[in-house]
């Protein structure tokens, strides 16, 4: 496993991370079950993965609880990144809430589920239009002083809000949607995005010494060797992604097939090519890769064992250029 450090986070973090949305349980992801999830986490640690990203809303606390179970006796081997800002009621109706009171409640709940007394990175999951950013960032600064959190990150915020937040209290990371087929996406599922990852956020992140954390690096499975929506049950969250439906699915599948030709030339899995491309981008930190089973985790982690040549990066960019010019990717 290869590792990176960043000016604002002076720790060696694995270039391939572990994303925990997929371990929310079978209610949200087809074929997910807890024992496989625990085995996948154990395999990740065994392979040198030390960055684990999660959120309370993933499985409504379930994913955090599984990580807490898996990390017993291994806390010093992992860097835990969780989030706040999406809360829910007894009917699991989710609302955005970044008030000081809510943040202080959420961190204690997360620490209990994760079975730890601190988290390494605490991220604002989505903006809360009803709470001033000053209140939110001041609350995070207070938590940092108590030792409950070590670093602060933002996720899915606009560049203007990122700059304002960083002026209030230091921000160490930014997490956004970014992959081979989504460079500057304008929406995630049906949610509009107020940022553009490659053209706006990444240059600022690099300038400030932060790290950029790309989520959905495989575009929810499209950037693998064999992908089809056939057989994906109706409860699976991928049915909420309009890019994986109808004409959009045909378009993106065609682009992915062109990229698979590069993977075949390299004799590497498409997923590793997609992860490797992200690792090569300046300012990019751990790639947030899902893994429902140990085999998936192993395949993802092996992307860190080799590097794309400049020639193959140029081939990939040439394939993407016409679609990028049309603002498809």
Predicted confidence band of residue 190 (pLDDT cuts 50, 70, 90): confident
Task: Report the candidate in 52, 39, 34 with the shortest Cα–Cα distance to residue 114.
Answer: 52
Predicted confidence band of residue 243 (pLDDT cuts 50, 70, 90): confident
Q: What CATH number does residue 184 fall under?
A: 3.20.20.100
CB count, 10 Å around CB of 319?
A: 17
pLDDT at 202: 98
Predicted confidence band of residue 100 (pLDDT cuts 50, 70, 90): very high
Answer yes or no: is pLDDT of 228 > 80: no
pLDDT at 168: 98
What is the pLDDT averaged over residues 259-275? 96
Q: What is the pLDDT of residues 150-175, one digit of tens each?
A: 999 999 999 999 999 999 999 999 99
Answer yes or no: is pLDDT of 27 > 70: no
Gap between the terminal Cα atoms of the chain: 29
The pTM of this model reads 0.94
262: Cβ contacts below 8 Å, ≥ 6 apart: 273, 312, 315, 316, 319
**213 contacts 153 by C-beta, under 8 angstroms:** yes
Query: What tokens does 189 get?
Result: 């599922």
pLDDT at 26: 59
Write down the catalytic residue from 3, 28, 58, 187. Answer: 58
Query: What tokens does 293 get?
Result: 């089973």
> What is the rounded distance in angstroms from the CA atom of residue 1 to the CA atom of residue 302?
8
pLDDT at 255: 93
What is the pLDDT averaged over residues 11-22? 95
Answer yes or no: is pLDDT of 237 > 80: no
Predicted confidence band of residue 233 (pLDDT cuts 50, 70, 90): low
What is the pLDDT averaged over residues 124-131? 97
What is the pLDDT averaged over residues 69-97? 96
**44 contacts 291 by C-beta, under 8 angstroms:** yes
Torsion over CA: 234, 240, 243, 245 (sign): positive
pLDDT at 248: 85
pLDDT at 246: 83
Mean of the per-residue pLDDT values of the chain? 93
Q: Could you give the number of structural domains in the chain?
A: 1
pLDDT at 89: 92
**297 contacts 18 by C-beta, under 8 angstroms:** yes
pLDDT at 73: 96
Answer yes or no: is pLDDT of 142 > 90: yes
What is the pLDDT averaged over residues 33-37? 90
Answer yes or no: is pLDDT of 141 > 80: yes
Highest-pLDDT range among 26-30, 191-195, 319-323 = 191-195
Phi first, then psi, for residue 108 (nearest 5°) are -65, -35
Active site residue 58: yes
Which domain covers residue 315, as residue numbers? 3-325
């Amino acid at each position: 496993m290869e590792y990176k450090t960043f000016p604002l986070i002076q720790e060696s973090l694995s270039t391939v991370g572990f994303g925990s949305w997929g371990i929310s349980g079978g209610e949200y992801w087809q074929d997910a079950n807890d024992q496989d999830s625990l085995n996948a986490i154990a395999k990740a640690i065994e392979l040198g993965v030390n960055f684990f990203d999660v959120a309370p809303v993933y499985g409504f606390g379930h994913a955090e609880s599984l990580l807490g179970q898996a990390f017993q006796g291994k806390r010093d081997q992992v860097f835990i990144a969780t989030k706040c800002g999406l809360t829910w009621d007894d009917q699991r109706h989710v609302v955005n809430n970044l008030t000081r009171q809510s943040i202080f409640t959420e961190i204690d709940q997360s620490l209990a589920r994760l079975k730890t007394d601190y988290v390494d990175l605490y991220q604002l999951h989505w903006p809360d239009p009803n709470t001033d950013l000053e209140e939110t960032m001041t609350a995070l600064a207070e938590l940092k002083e108590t030792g409950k959190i070590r670093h602060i990150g933002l996720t899915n915020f606009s560049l203007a809000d990122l700059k304002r937040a960083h002026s209030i209290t230091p921000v160490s990371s930014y997490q956004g949607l970014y992959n081979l087929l989504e460079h500057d996406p304008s929406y995630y599922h049906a949610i509009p995005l107020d940022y553009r990852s490659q053209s706006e956020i990444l240059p600022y992140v690099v300038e400030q010494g932060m790290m950029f954390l790309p989520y959905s690096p495989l575009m929810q499975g499209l950037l693998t060797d064999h992908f089809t929506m056939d057989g994906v049950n109706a409860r699976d969250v991928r049915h909420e992604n309009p890019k994986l439906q109808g004409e959009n699915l045909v378009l993106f599948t065609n682009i992915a097939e062109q990229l698979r030709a590069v993977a075949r030339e390299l004799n590497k899995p498409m997923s590793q090519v997609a992860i490797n491309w992200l690792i090569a981008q300046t300012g990019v930190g751990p790639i947030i890769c899902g893994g429902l089973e140990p085999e998936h985790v192993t395949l993802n982690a092996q992307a860190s064992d080799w590097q794309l040549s400049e020639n193959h990066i140029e081939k990939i960019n040439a394939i993407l250029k016409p679609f990028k010019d049309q603002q498809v990717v």
